[in-house]
Amino acid sequence: MSADLLPVAIPTGQRPAPIAELFYSFQGEGVSLGRRALFVRFLGCNLTCGYAEVPTSHDTPAQGSTLCDTEYTWNSTKHDLSAGVWHLTPQEIWDELLQLDPTTADPSLAQVDLIVVTGGEPLLHKDAVLHLAHQARLTDRCVEIETNATIKPGPDLVAAGVAFNAGLKLASSAVPRKKRIKPDAIMEIEASGRARWKFVVSTLDDLVEIAELQAQFGLTEIWLSPEGTTPERVVEQMRMAAAPALEHGWNLTTREHVLIWGGQRAR
């Protein structure tokens, strides 16, 4: 076979991953609330929040009170998952993120030192996430991974020094417990010492389940995040959760991006 007919080898860890969004904004919730950040949102998720299983049509009714606000990353019955999607290697993702940092155009500005990796479920794309974590470390940036905590991150990712904004899903998501609660993954993330357990709350029953999960798995740093895609709903849910959060020793975050921009994408 002639050399020019040989297949092009893709370097290990540099296979393209599907990207729904890359953007520059504020971290809207949790321990880094209000910090400027560069965001990468991966396509694809292994859960179906709001539904007990994958919807079969665009009018499949939601079965849970806690809905997914990024269905456009996984629900093909409602969204064209191919529209606007980028298929980028990990290094290409990193290069695009650097172009979003305003420091690139104006070195007089402070570098954006936080990378938020989200989805969908970003740990479905571990090679890409690990590459981003290594690049961030080389440039004095921190990485927060927003994960549903059903997939073990693995020792390489833990060793890369990332933080986990681990959002365990509750019964109000309608996802069966055996799919949303994976003890091995939960314990590995907790053992990393860099877990922030972020629970989206929509009902008082959610708060009871959170207390049970905390006791079962020894969860340490807990944050309640109000369910909602409008400012009014976010404030309403924060008021519902505030007193129980103080009683249990939990933290309460708002959703700053919703308060500022409503439900706009890439915000």
Q: Is residue 207 part of a domain?
A: no
Give strand pairing partners of 24. 38
Q: Is residue 256 part of a domain?
A: no
Residues 6+ apart with CB under 8 A from 126: 153, 154, 157
Q: Is residue 142 part of a domain?
A: yes
Res 5: pLDDT: 36
Residues at the binding site for Mg(2+) are 70
Residues at the binding site for S-adenosyl-L-methionine are 120
Residue for token digits 């798995």? 217
In the chain, how long is the greatest CA-to-CA distance? Answer: 72
Q: Is residue 34 part of a domain?
A: yes
Task: Please give the chain's pLDDT, 267 residues, in tens.
Answer: 333 333 333 445 589 999 999 999 999 999 999 999 999 999 999 999 999 999 999 999 999 988 899 999 999 999 999 999 999 999 999 999 999 999 999 999 999 999 999 999 999 999 999 999 999 999 999 999 999 999 999 999 999 999 999 999 999 999 999 999 999 999 999 999 999 999 999 999 999 999 999 999 999 999 999 999 999 999 999 999 999 999 999 999 999 999 999 988 888
Residues 6+ apart with CB under 8 A from 51: 60, 62, 63, 64, 174, 175
68: CATH: 3.20.20.70
Res 258: pLDDT: 94
Q: What is the rounded distance in angstroms from the CA atom of residue 139 to the CA atom of residue 149? A: 27
Counted domains in the chain = 1
Q: What is the rounded distance in angstroms from the CA atom of residue 241 to the CA atom of residue 107? A: 42
Q: What is the rounded distance in angstroms from the CA atom of residue 160 to the CA atom of residue 115? A: 13
Is the distance from CB of 146 to CB of 119 less than 8 angstroms? yes
Residues at the binding site are 26-28, 41, 45, 49, 68, 70, 118, 120
The token pair at 76 is 């093909």
Residues at the binding site for substrate are 26-28, 41, 118
Helix residue spans in 56-125 (DSSP H): 90-100, 102-105
- Domain with 90, as residue range(s), is 12-49+62-199
Q: How many CA atoms lie within 13 A of 76 on its CB side?
A: 7
Res 13: pLDDT: 59
Q: What is the rounded distance in angstroms from the CA atom of residue 4 to the CA atom of residue 190? A: 50
Q: Is residue 260 part of a domain?
A: no
Q: Is residue 264 part of a domain?
A: no
Q: Is residue 54 part of a domain?
A: no
The token pair at 96 is 């695009």
Q: Tell me the CA distances in angstroms from 4 to 1, 8, 12, 14, 15, one per residue in order.
A: 8, 9, 21, 22, 21
Residues at the binding site for [4Fe-4S] cluster are 45, 49, 68
Number of H helices, E strands in the chain: 9, 9
Is the distance from CB of 229 to CB of 261 less than 8 angstroms? no
Q: Is residue 126 part of a domain?
A: yes
